[in-house]
Structure 1
Amino acid sequence: MKTRFKIYKTIGLIGLFMVAFTACTDDLNITPNDDQTTLSEDLFKDEAAYKQVLAGVYANLALTGTDGAGTSNLKNIDAGTSQFGRVLLYVQTLSADQMIWSYENDPGTREIQRNIWTAQNPLLLGMFSRAHLSIALANNFLRETTDDKLDARNVSASVRSEMPAYRAEARLMRAMAYYYMMDIFGKANFADESTPINSQPEVYERAELFSFIESELLAIDADLIGAKQNEYGRADKAVAYMILAKMYLNAEVYIGADRYADCINYCEKIIGGGFSLATNYLHNFMADNNLNSAVNEIIFPIISDGFTTQNYGPTTVMINGSVGSLEVNGTEVGVSAGGWGGALRVRKQFVELFDGSFNSDTRNTIISEGRPVDIDDISDKDSGYIIQKYSNATSTGSFGVDQTFVDTDFPLFRLADVYLMYAEAHLRGGGGDLTTALGYVNALRTRANNPNTIAAGDLTLDFILDERARELHWEAHRRQDLIRYNKFTGGNYNWAWKGNGSNGISLPAHFKVYPIPTASMAANPNLTQNAGY
């Protein structure tokens, strides 16, 4: 069992999944799969409950229910279409040029990977609902930890001394959920801890969300624990800085403003926070990535544990799914030999980023022998190359505790991304230093055992886009990157099965955001559909 911030299976999950649903979800029109309504005052008689309920806010990123991996706490949404990390992976990676899913009868996957989604897509409802549940849980925690509530409960000084940091973490997790809503849907139901319970939520558009997230993250800075000083799996200053840096890098998309200088500033803050690259690239994606050298690189993970937090999250999906139908190589990566029978492969355009100069590059885990690169029939699991990036093996030669549910944490944010953001923001006019930017890019290549470091003249925006794919593939960034480069919609860059064409076709511009789920609009009349849908 891994050592990390404990996602509580008792009171913390009660706080997450079994109580407080009217109190914490009515303000966002989320339908819980439960009819209990309030956080009992009895819960807080044990002062340890405050940390446990905070753990429940984090648990919503990893878990979907209390009765095993297949259960969901959201009514009419099953676990496979609502686990936060998994649906994030689908909307950000499966929708783009790196990944293909064989089993298109799985709800919603066909439409996402062929870019033919509609507002009825269950994966979009899962993403919308799970992100809003994070917001609702954070709001509930903040309502229950006001000075008045703590005074009334006569909470001890020792617990109260922790409360500013606890509350800052809850606000950060709420801001992160709103960040993903802003990026993916362009709007969100909006509520904070001061919003009256049972009121109809107002709707914030991108500009309003950007302003709120930015102001929140700046406001909590003094109360957040310093970078790398919190328990593993809990948020700190660096996580807030990471969200800000990514917002500023994409600000022209979100609000039509150049914020590249601010991106550079927050990249520098993160880099100065004591992080360092893992000694081995693949350590970031192994079962002991909370203990091996990756612990110095991962800024924020979604926790996975094959024993205590079994879930069908992104690392369980990718490790089981990337076992080849021909290779039956699951025992190499710590799952059953056949895994999920060739569920995942890579698209041709991704393969083409790894030419002959990447044969020794540890980021190149493509397995091609005996396979055609083209995928003419998505259901043919023997066509298309596979990769072996993620693993349920450890850096010391052992394996995770379970052969299906993996121990591998999902690296939502890591230092390598910061290095590449710095270089891109510099090239886009944000300031910084060319020599520094070049050094960061070459540090990634050197760490990957690639002898082909680059010169200053090679550092271009197009190079950065390709290098981001080589470094950060299958980490839920690609859709955002392609949109920022104006290559996701339109026809100036096509990939296999883009727009439902085997060789790719143009996408309309409104596909830069996803549609608002029909069920979500029915729950809140203030929500309107995004243009074009």
Structure 2
Amino acid sequence: MKNIFKYYLAPGVTLMALVGITSCTKLDTKIKDPNSIAPTTAGGAPAPSSLSKVYEQLNQLLGQGNSYAMQEHTTDEILGPTRGTDWDDFGTWRKLHLHTWDGSHNQINDTWNGLNGALFQTTLLAETATGQTQAEAKFLRAYFTYVVCDLFGQVQHRPATAAAAVIPDVYTRSQAIDFIISELESVIPNLPSFNHTNRNMATKEAAQFLLAKAYLNKAVYKQDPTKPAGPYTFNVADMNKVISLCNAIAANPSLSISANYWDNFRWDNGTKSTEDIFVRQNSGGINVVWATCMGFHYAQAPSGWNGFTTLADFYNSFSDGDMRKGMALPGYTDQVGSNVGFLVGQIQGPQGGKIGNPIVNLKDRSGNPLVFTSDVSLFFSSETKGIRTVKYPLDPSTINNGGWSSQNEYVFFRLADARLMKAEAILRGGTDAETPLAIVNSIRTSRNAPLLANVDLTALLAERGRELYLETWRRNDMIRYGVFNNPVGERPAASDPSRVVFPIPNIALSSNPNLKQNFGY
């Protein structure tokens, strides 16, 4: 396994990770001093960080491990096959795909610590700042609260004024979603409108997007915790809220569906994309090299880690010609050798792995043609098994140096998602003059995909997968649609319904008596 994106915290701070999570650089981030924002006076409340430092908490959502892996490896989009001794990693990836994790899983524990540290940092500023700074901090707190609520079903909270030793109280999932909705509704009037230049900060449209997600998933989070997998009852008033919020986002003249899907992800997406609402810019060592290298073979440019693959059934859900499935990207493919999207068949790249050399058919480590095949085993795969992905094509001019300085901005929220949320809300009982079919086909037209004759919820879930793959929404979608526990490739049996929520890490339970283990664990 190569360079997993990790956050390390001493066990003693898992109470809430009630101490500072600092910014990360590149892929290996280690918390050397988990008490870096400890109070200056014994027992007193810690001082808040600057707003820029609070934004840096978003960095932990980037990387092929932890929260990203929990949202993606558990679905029908991606898996981490073992290739001999490569990528075994004590079964950490297999357990995610097989839904066999427990409260001792390393990535679940690391994610809990990191996200709770982010909640602590955002709370310090959200409850002490004023004006727009406070509004931005509250948006960030709502975002991290949403992620914790979605993954773990319980959210710890400790007021900013509390002494360092105070044990956090705990919001239930139902209480957490109420808090998120209230927080976002209160800050929207105090945030600036999106104007493209502020895409890396909290805006009205970013808050409206997250609020739409909250209303769309409200039925999931209000569900009886002993029946977490549903069935869910979606309230029509909530769906109309989703529609209203998505309409408000689409009304911003600075936003429109990008004519080329890949403008949203390529190395100059900061200037090319017309639909990225909220992003993390490449600065201070933040980059998306991992998104390429997690699947690229060693012989490709840049040299990858030969890890993760998509599943054949997911790949086959795309129509031929759909640019989201794959295409030659001018300025990229002619230099790097690979398409964008999915990679299958004979793989090409620059001779010797150096940009500027002739493009040739690549070979594997044994000297055979490097041919990616659709068949893949979670337990026993050769180096060529599995279809690979290229979601964030790196700047070719940076690849000879590893691609680290490629300026791709990592996308959190996107207009196409808001449009598809609106379509779903209409199908779930909301009212609008626009039809789900018209919404979906307008997006498919821009993706060069054939038009659909009709759209129901099943078709919409499939379309969300095609449009938003590897953007960390698939688990959330599959749960809401009631299919998360269904068998998928390399997981032939349905998983237990309790798997729709992750367990509270064992060590966290031992340090906060207000936490109770989730149902089924």
| Smaller-chain TM-score bracket | 0.7 to 0.9
For 1:210 and 1:358, locate their aligned partners in 2 and report how far apart those are by CA, in whole Å.
40
Task: Give the match for residue 282 of structure 1.
Answer: 262
Task: Give the match for residue 343 of structure 2.
Answer: 367
Task: Give the match for residue 420 of structure 1.
Answer: 420
TM-score, scaled relative to structure 2: 0.77
Shift of residue 26, structure 1, vs aligned partner = 9.5
Shift of residue 100, structure 1, vs aligned partner = 1.6
For 1:476 and 1:83, locate their aligned partners in 2 and report how far apart those are by CA, in whole Å.
10
Alignment of 1:49-88 (within 5 A): 53-62=50-59, 86-88=65-67
For 1:183 and 1:101, locate their aligned partners in 2 and report how far apart those are by CA, in whole Å.
23
Alignment of 1:281-360 (within 5 A): 281-292=261-272, 294=273, 296-305=274-283, 308-310=284-286, 315-324=288-297, 328-330=299-301, 336=302, 338-340=303-305, 342-354=306-318, 357-360=319-322
Q: Unaligned regions of 5+ residues in structure 2, if any?
A: 1-6, 21-32, 42-46, 82-86, 224-233, 327-340, 346-370
8 A Cα contact 1:104 1:379, kept in partner: no
Q: Unaligned regions of 5+ residues in structure 1, if any?
A: 1-16, 42-48, 64-81, 146-162, 331-335, 499-503
Matched letter for residue 408 of structure 2: T
Task: Give the match for residue 444 of structure 2.
Answer: 445
Alignment of 1:40-51 (within 5 A): none
Percent pairwise identity: 26
Note the alpha carbon deviations across 1:366-401, whole angstroms, 9 max, x for none.
Answer: 2221443221345433112222232112xxx64479
With over 3 angstroms needed to count, the CA separation of the structure-2 counterparts of 1:374 and 1:510, relative to structure 1, is: same
More helix by share: 1
Task: Give the match for residue 488 of structure 2.
Answer: 495
Shift of residue 347, structure 1, vs aligned partner = 1.0
- 1:460 corresponds, among 456, 460, 464, to 456
Are 2:152 and 1:176 aligned? no
8 A Cα contact 2:149 2:173, kept in partner: yes
8 A Cα contact 2:394 2:403, kept in partner: no
For 1:226 and 1:106, locate their aligned partners in 2 and report how far apart those are by CA, in whole Å.
47
Task: Give the match for residue 14 of structure 1.
Answer: none
With over 3 angstroms needed to count, the CA separation of the structure-2 counterparts of 1:283 and 1:189, relative to structure 1, is: same
For 1:197 and 1:86, locate their aligned partners in 2 and report how far apart those are by CA, in whole Å.
30
Task: Give the match for residue 92 of structure 1.
Answer: 71
Alignment of 1:122-201 (within 5 A): 122-145=106-129, 163-201=130-168
Matched letter for residue 475 of structure 2: R
Matched letter for residue 526 of structure 1: N
Matched letter for residue 403 of structure 1: G
With over 3 angstroms needed to count, the CA separation of the structure-2 counterparts of 1:101 and 1:428, relative to structure 1, is: same
8 A Cα contact 2:220 2:480, kept in partner: yes
Shift of residue 430, structure 1, vs aligned partner = 1.2
Note the alpha carbon deviations across 1:312-352, whole angstroms, 9 max, x for none.
Answer: xxx33221112136xx332xxxxx2x311x21211122122
For 1:387 and 1:319, locate their aligned partners in 2 and report how far apart those are by CA, in whole Å.
7
SS in 1 for 2:125: helix
For 1:289 and 1:261, locate their aligned partners in 2 and report how far apart those are by CA, in whole Å.
32
Note the alpha carbon deviations across 1:163-216, whole angstroms, 9 max, x for none.
Answer: 411110001100111101111111111234355543111111111001111111
Task: Give the match for residue 335 of structure 2.
Answer: none
Task: Give the match for residue 519 of structure 1.
Answer: 507
8 A Cα contact 1:27 1:199, kept in partner: no
Shift of residue 235, structure 1, vs aligned partner = 1.0
Matched letter for residue 136 of structure 1: F
Q: Paired residues, what number?
A: 435
Task: Give the match for residue 18 of structure 2.
Answer: 30
8 A Cα contact 1:426 1:433, kept in partner: no
With over 3 angstroms needed to count, the CA separation of the structure-2 counterparts of 1:474 and 1:36, relative to structure 1, is: closer
For 1:144 and 1:329, locate their aligned partners in 2 and report how far apart those are by CA, in whole Å.
49
Shift of residue 133, structure 1, vs aligned partner = 1.4
TM-score, scaled relative to structure 1: 0.75
Task: Give the match for residue 350 of structure 2.
Answer: none
For 1:40 and 1:164, locate their aligned partners in 2 and report how far apart those are by CA, in whole Å.
26
Note the alpha carbon deviations across 1:226-247, whole angstroms, 9 max, x for none.
Answer: 2237633111111111111111
